[in-house]
Amino acid sequence: MTILDSATLQSFLALFVAVALIPPAIYLIHRDYCDFLSLGAGGTPQTPVGYLKVKFLGLFALPDPCVPHFLPHEHCGNGYLTSLPQRTGRRPQAKGIAPHRQMTQRSPKHVHEVFAEALRDLARDPRNLLVEGTSCFEKHGTGLFSLRPRTRTCRGEVCHVHGSDGSLHMTLYPADAKLVIERGWGERHPLARGGWLARFVPKHFVMVYAPRNEEEVGVVTRIASAAVWWVSGITVHKNGTRDDRSRSDIDNKAIDVARETSGEGHGSAELVHDGLEKKAMVGDGG
Protein backbone atom coordinates (compact mmCIF):
# COMPACT_ATOMS: atom_id res chain seq x y z
CA MET A 1 0.00 0.00 0.00
CA THR A 2 1.42 3.41 -0.96
CA ILE A 3 1.61 6.46 1.29
CA LEU A 4 -1.07 8.13 -0.86
CA ASP A 5 -3.40 5.17 -0.45
CA SER A 6 -2.92 5.25 3.34
CA ALA A 7 -3.66 8.96 3.52
CA THR A 8 -6.75 8.52 1.36
CA LEU A 9 -8.01 5.72 3.61
CA GLN A 10 -7.53 7.87 6.70
CA SER A 11 -9.48 10.69 5.07
CA PHE A 12 -12.36 8.38 4.23
CA LEU A 13 -12.38 7.00 7.77
CA ALA A 14 -12.44 10.50 9.25
CA LEU A 15 -15.29 11.49 6.93
CA PHE A 16 -17.22 8.34 7.84
CA VAL A 17 -16.85 8.99 11.57
CA ALA A 18 -17.92 12.62 11.15
CA VAL A 19 -21.01 11.66 9.14
CA ALA A 20 -21.87 8.89 11.60
CA LEU A 21 -21.79 11.34 14.52
CA ILE A 22 -24.19 13.82 12.92
CA PRO A 23 -27.47 11.94 13.68
CA PRO A 24 -26.76 11.33 17.40
CA ALA A 25 -25.53 14.93 17.76
CA ILE A 26 -28.75 16.23 16.20
CA TYR A 27 -30.77 13.95 18.48
CA LEU A 28 -28.99 15.16 21.63
CA ILE A 29 -29.35 18.82 20.66
CA HIS A 30 -33.03 18.32 19.85
CA ARG A 31 -33.66 16.60 23.19
CA ASP A 32 -31.83 19.36 25.07
CA TYR A 33 -33.84 21.99 23.21
CA CYS A 34 -37.07 20.20 24.12
CA ASP A 35 -35.96 20.16 27.77
CA PHE A 36 -35.40 23.92 27.53
CA LEU A 37 -38.92 24.40 26.14
CA SER A 38 -40.43 22.12 28.80
CA LEU A 39 -39.33 24.51 31.55
CA GLY A 40 -41.99 26.93 30.34
CA ALA A 41 -42.02 30.66 29.75
CA GLY A 42 -39.41 32.73 31.54
CA GLY A 43 -37.04 35.62 31.05
CA THR A 44 -35.57 34.13 27.85
CA PRO A 45 -37.61 33.75 24.62
CA GLN A 46 -38.52 30.14 23.81
CA THR A 47 -36.74 30.29 20.47
CA PRO A 48 -33.54 28.81 19.01
CA VAL A 49 -31.82 32.16 19.65
CA GLY A 50 -33.00 32.11 23.27
CA TYR A 51 -31.75 28.54 23.62
CA LEU A 52 -28.30 29.48 22.29
CA LYS A 53 -28.16 32.42 24.70
CA VAL A 54 -28.91 30.14 27.65
CA LYS A 55 -26.29 27.61 26.53
CA PHE A 56 -23.70 30.38 26.32
CA LEU A 57 -24.56 31.69 29.79
CA GLY A 58 -24.41 28.13 31.07
CA LEU A 59 -20.66 28.20 30.49
CA PHE A 60 -20.41 30.65 33.40
CA ALA A 61 -22.98 29.04 35.73
CA LEU A 62 -22.14 28.17 39.32
CA PRO A 63 -20.75 24.64 39.69
CA ASP A 64 -22.88 24.04 42.81
CA PRO A 65 -25.70 26.52 43.56
CA CYS A 66 -26.29 24.84 46.94
CA VAL A 67 -22.98 26.15 48.30
CA PRO A 68 -23.51 29.59 49.90
CA HIS A 69 -21.53 32.56 48.68
CA PHE A 70 -18.46 33.31 50.79
CA LEU A 71 -19.22 36.30 53.01
CA PRO A 72 -16.46 38.79 53.86
CA HIS A 73 -16.38 39.98 57.47
CA GLU A 74 -18.41 43.11 56.72
CA HIS A 75 -21.32 40.94 55.47
CA CYS A 76 -21.46 38.56 58.42
CA GLY A 77 -23.85 40.56 60.60
CA ASN A 78 -27.40 39.33 61.11
CA GLY A 79 -29.92 40.21 58.48
CA TYR A 80 -33.66 39.97 58.86
CA LEU A 81 -33.56 36.23 59.54
CA THR A 82 -31.93 35.69 62.91
CA SER A 83 -32.79 31.97 62.69
CA LEU A 84 -34.51 29.41 60.47
CA PRO A 85 -35.54 25.80 61.13
CA GLN A 86 -33.83 23.09 59.10
CA ARG A 87 -35.93 22.05 56.11
CA THR A 88 -36.74 18.34 56.34
CA GLY A 89 -35.94 15.84 53.63
CA ARG A 90 -33.75 16.15 50.59
CA ARG A 91 -33.52 19.23 48.43
CA PRO A 92 -35.78 19.26 45.38
CA GLN A 93 -34.28 19.06 41.92
CA ALA A 94 -33.93 22.37 40.08
CA LYS A 95 -33.15 22.76 36.38
CA GLY A 96 -32.39 25.51 33.91
CA ILE A 97 -30.97 29.00 33.98
CA ALA A 98 -33.56 31.20 32.29
CA PRO A 99 -36.05 29.90 33.11
CA HIS A 100 -34.83 28.31 36.34
CA ARG A 101 -37.42 25.91 37.75
CA GLN A 102 -38.06 23.47 40.60
CA MET A 103 -38.81 20.05 39.11
CA THR A 104 -39.74 17.98 42.18
CA GLN A 105 -41.53 18.51 45.54
CA ARG A 106 -43.84 21.12 44.05
CA SER A 107 -46.56 22.83 46.08
CA PRO A 108 -49.96 21.14 46.20
CA LYS A 109 -52.69 23.40 44.81
CA HIS A 110 -54.26 24.22 48.19
CA VAL A 111 -50.85 25.05 49.71
CA HIS A 112 -50.02 27.31 46.77
CA GLU A 113 -53.31 29.16 47.30
CA VAL A 114 -52.57 29.67 51.01
CA PHE A 115 -49.09 30.96 50.18
CA ALA A 116 -50.39 33.30 47.46
CA GLU A 117 -52.79 34.78 50.01
CA ALA A 118 -49.94 35.28 52.49
CA LEU A 119 -48.04 37.29 49.87
CA ARG A 120 -51.18 39.30 49.12
CA ASP A 121 -51.38 40.17 52.81
CA LEU A 122 -47.85 41.58 52.66
CA ALA A 123 -48.78 43.68 49.65
CA ARG A 124 -52.08 44.89 51.13
CA ASP A 125 -50.44 46.64 54.08
CA PRO A 126 -49.58 50.14 52.78
CA ARG A 127 -46.72 50.44 55.29
CA ASN A 128 -44.82 47.76 53.35
CA LEU A 129 -44.71 50.02 50.26
CA LEU A 130 -45.37 47.14 47.86
CA VAL A 131 -47.18 46.85 44.56
CA GLU A 132 -48.01 43.76 42.51
CA GLY A 133 -47.07 43.56 38.84
CA THR A 134 -45.69 41.45 36.02
CA SER A 135 -42.26 40.14 36.97
CA CYS A 136 -39.44 42.23 35.52
CA PHE A 137 -36.99 39.32 35.65
CA GLU A 138 -39.33 36.69 34.22
CA LYS A 139 -41.46 38.86 31.90
CA HIS A 140 -44.27 36.44 32.80
CA GLY A 141 -46.20 35.76 35.99
CA THR A 142 -46.45 38.14 38.90
CA GLY A 143 -44.18 39.57 41.52
CA LEU A 144 -43.94 42.05 44.36
CA PHE A 145 -42.22 45.39 43.74
CA SER A 146 -40.97 47.99 46.19
CA LEU A 147 -42.33 51.50 45.68
CA ARG A 148 -39.16 52.93 47.24
CA PRO A 149 -36.33 50.46 46.59
CA ARG A 150 -33.02 51.03 48.36
CA THR A 151 -31.36 48.01 46.76
CA ARG A 152 -31.11 48.00 42.97
CA THR A 153 -33.02 45.15 41.36
CA CYS A 154 -35.00 44.94 38.12
CA ARG A 155 -37.46 47.86 38.57
CA GLY A 156 -37.39 47.33 42.32
CA GLU A 157 -38.64 43.75 42.13
CA VAL A 158 -38.63 42.05 45.54
CA CYS A 159 -39.67 38.55 44.49
CA HIS A 160 -41.72 36.62 41.94
CA VAL A 161 -43.61 33.35 42.18
CA HIS A 162 -43.48 30.51 39.65
CA GLY A 163 -47.04 29.34 39.21
CA SER A 164 -45.89 26.09 37.61
CA ASP A 165 -44.12 24.80 40.73
CA GLY A 166 -44.71 27.23 43.63
CA SER A 167 -41.07 28.27 44.04
CA LEU A 168 -39.84 31.87 44.13
CA HIS A 169 -36.88 33.97 43.11
CA MET A 170 -35.89 36.86 45.34
CA THR A 171 -33.00 39.12 46.28
CA LEU A 172 -31.78 38.74 49.87
CA TYR A 173 -29.28 40.36 52.20
CA PRO A 174 -26.03 38.32 51.93
CA ALA A 175 -26.27 36.82 55.44
CA ASP A 176 -29.94 35.93 54.90
CA ALA A 177 -29.17 34.25 51.57
CA LYS A 178 -26.45 32.20 53.28
CA LEU A 179 -28.80 31.10 56.08
CA VAL A 180 -31.58 30.14 53.65
CA ILE A 181 -29.19 27.94 51.66
CA GLU A 182 -27.54 26.37 54.72
CA ARG A 183 -30.93 25.45 56.24
CA GLY A 184 -32.04 23.81 52.99
CA TRP A 185 -34.77 26.28 51.99
CA GLY A 186 -33.25 27.41 48.74
CA GLU A 187 -30.25 27.69 46.44
CA ARG A 188 -28.44 30.36 44.50
CA HIS A 189 -29.51 31.17 40.97
CA PRO A 190 -26.93 29.60 38.63
CA LEU A 191 -25.85 33.05 37.41
CA ALA A 192 -25.78 34.73 40.85
CA ARG A 193 -22.04 35.24 41.07
CA GLY A 194 -21.73 38.99 40.52
CA GLY A 195 -19.40 40.72 38.09
CA TRP A 196 -20.70 41.13 34.56
CA LEU A 197 -23.39 38.50 35.24
CA ALA A 198 -25.07 41.01 37.58
CA ARG A 199 -26.65 42.51 34.46
CA PHE A 200 -28.87 39.40 34.40
CA VAL A 201 -29.53 38.71 38.10
CA PRO A 202 -28.30 40.27 41.38
CA LYS A 203 -25.35 38.66 43.14
CA HIS A 204 -27.53 37.36 45.99
CA PHE A 205 -30.47 36.19 43.86
CA VAL A 206 -31.93 33.03 45.38
CA MET A 207 -34.48 30.40 44.44
CA VAL A 208 -36.60 29.62 47.51
CA TYR A 209 -38.21 26.21 47.28
CA ALA A 210 -41.97 25.79 47.11
CA PRO A 211 -43.70 25.25 50.48
CA ARG A 212 -44.97 21.68 50.78
CA ASN A 213 -47.49 22.29 53.56
CA GLU A 214 -49.06 25.14 55.51
CA GLU A 215 -46.35 25.05 58.17
CA GLU A 216 -43.75 25.69 55.49
CA VAL A 217 -45.88 28.54 54.13
CA GLY A 218 -45.07 30.42 57.33
CA VAL A 219 -41.33 29.87 56.90
CA VAL A 220 -41.28 30.86 53.22
CA THR A 221 -43.37 33.94 53.98
CA ARG A 222 -40.73 34.96 56.55
CA ILE A 223 -38.07 34.58 53.87
CA ALA A 224 -40.13 36.71 51.48
CA SER A 225 -40.41 39.32 54.24
CA ALA A 226 -36.61 39.30 54.44
CA ALA A 227 -36.51 40.21 50.76
CA VAL A 228 -38.91 43.11 51.39
CA TRP A 229 -36.69 44.27 54.27
CA TRP A 230 -33.56 44.14 52.08
CA VAL A 231 -34.90 45.69 48.88
CA SER A 232 -37.10 48.36 50.48
CA GLY A 233 -35.10 49.14 53.61
CA ILE A 234 -38.20 49.22 55.81
CA THR A 235 -39.61 47.57 58.91
CA VAL A 236 -41.93 44.85 57.58
CA HIS A 237 -45.54 44.58 58.77
CA LYS A 238 -47.36 41.25 58.69
CA ASN A 239 -50.98 40.51 59.61
CA GLY A 240 -51.48 44.16 60.49
CA THR A 241 -48.72 44.24 63.10
CA ARG A 242 -45.13 45.40 63.05
CA ASP A 243 -42.63 42.57 62.73
CA ASP A 244 -40.36 41.92 65.70
CA ARG A 245 -37.28 42.30 63.50
CA SER A 246 -37.23 46.08 63.04
CA ARG A 247 -34.51 48.13 61.40
CA SER A 248 -31.80 49.70 63.54
CA ASP A 249 -28.81 51.98 62.98
CA ILE A 250 -26.56 48.90 63.12
CA ASP A 251 -28.66 47.21 60.45
CA ASN A 252 -28.54 50.27 58.22
CA LYS A 253 -24.75 50.54 58.48
CA ALA A 254 -24.20 46.86 57.64
CA ILE A 255 -26.68 47.05 54.78
CA ASP A 256 -25.03 50.12 53.27
CA VAL A 257 -21.67 48.30 53.32
CA ALA A 258 -23.23 45.24 51.69
CA ARG A 259 -24.80 47.33 48.93
CA GLU A 260 -21.58 49.18 48.18
CA THR A 261 -19.39 46.07 48.03
CA SER A 262 -21.90 43.97 46.07
CA GLY A 263 -22.49 46.64 43.47
CA GLU A 264 -26.24 46.63 44.03
CA GLY A 265 -26.34 50.27 45.05
CA HIS A 266 -29.52 52.24 45.59
CA GLY A 267 -32.64 51.78 43.54
CA SER A 268 -35.05 54.39 42.30
CA ALA A 269 -38.78 54.61 42.83
CA GLU A 270 -39.09 55.92 39.27
CA LEU A 271 -38.02 52.50 37.99
CA VAL A 272 -41.02 50.92 39.67
CA HIS A 273 -43.58 53.17 38.01
CA ASP A 274 -41.94 53.13 34.57
CA GLY A 275 -44.30 50.89 32.63
CA LEU A 276 -45.08 48.55 35.53
CA GLU A 277 -48.25 46.61 34.82
CA LYS A 278 -50.34 46.29 37.95
CA LYS A 279 -52.35 43.11 38.32
CA ALA A 280 -53.68 40.69 40.94
CA MET A 281 -51.30 38.18 42.50
CA VAL A 282 -52.34 34.87 40.97
CA GLY A 283 -48.95 33.15 40.60
CA ASP A 284 -49.36 32.18 36.92
CA GLY A 285 -46.54 31.50 34.47
CA GLY A 286 -43.03 32.73 35.07
**Is 90 exceeded by the pLDDT of residue 45?**
no
pLDDT of residue 117: 95
pLDDT of residue 36: 86
Q: Where does the pLDDT of residue 281 fall: very low under 50, low under 70, confident under 90, or very high at 90 and above?
A: very low
- Given a contact cutoff of 8 angstroms between Cβ atoms, the answer to whether 98 and 135 are in contact is no
pLDDT of residue 225: 95
Non-local CB neighbours of 279 within 8 Å, separated by 6+ positions:
132, 133, 134, 142
Which run of H or E residues covers position 180? helix 174-182
Q: What percent of the chain lies above the pLDDT cut of 70?
A: 80
Task: Name 96's bridge partners.
Answer: 100
- Given a contact cutoff of 8 angstroms between Cβ atoms, the answer to whether 149 and 230 are in contact is no
Mean pLDDT (the chain, rounded): 83
Residue in 58, 65, 282 with CA at minimum distance from that of residue 160: 282
Provide the 8-state DSSP code for 286.
Answer: -
| Helix/strand/coil for 156 | helix
List the domain boundaries for the chain: 3-54, 64-273
pLDDT of residue 12: 77
Q: How many CB atoms lie within 10 A of CB 248?
A: 10
pLDDT of residue 145: 97
Between 245 and 203, name the one with better pLDDT. Answer: 203
Question: What confidence tens digit (pLDDT) does each residue in 87-126 have?
Answer: 999 999 999 999 999 999 999 999 999 999 999 999 999 9
Residue in 258, 259, 168 with CA at minimum distance from that of residue 205: 168
**Is 70 exceeded by the pLDDT of residue 255?**
no
Q: Where does the pLDDT of residue 25 fall: very low under 50, low under 70, confident under 90, or very high at 90 and above?
A: confident
Residue type at 220?
V
**Spatial separation of the C-alpha atoms in residues 109 and 192, rounded to whole Å:** 29
**Is 60 exceeded by the pLDDT of residue 270?**
no
Q: Would the pTM count as exceeding 0.95? A: no
* Lowest mean pLDDT segment, chosen from 71-80, 96-105, 166-175: 71-80
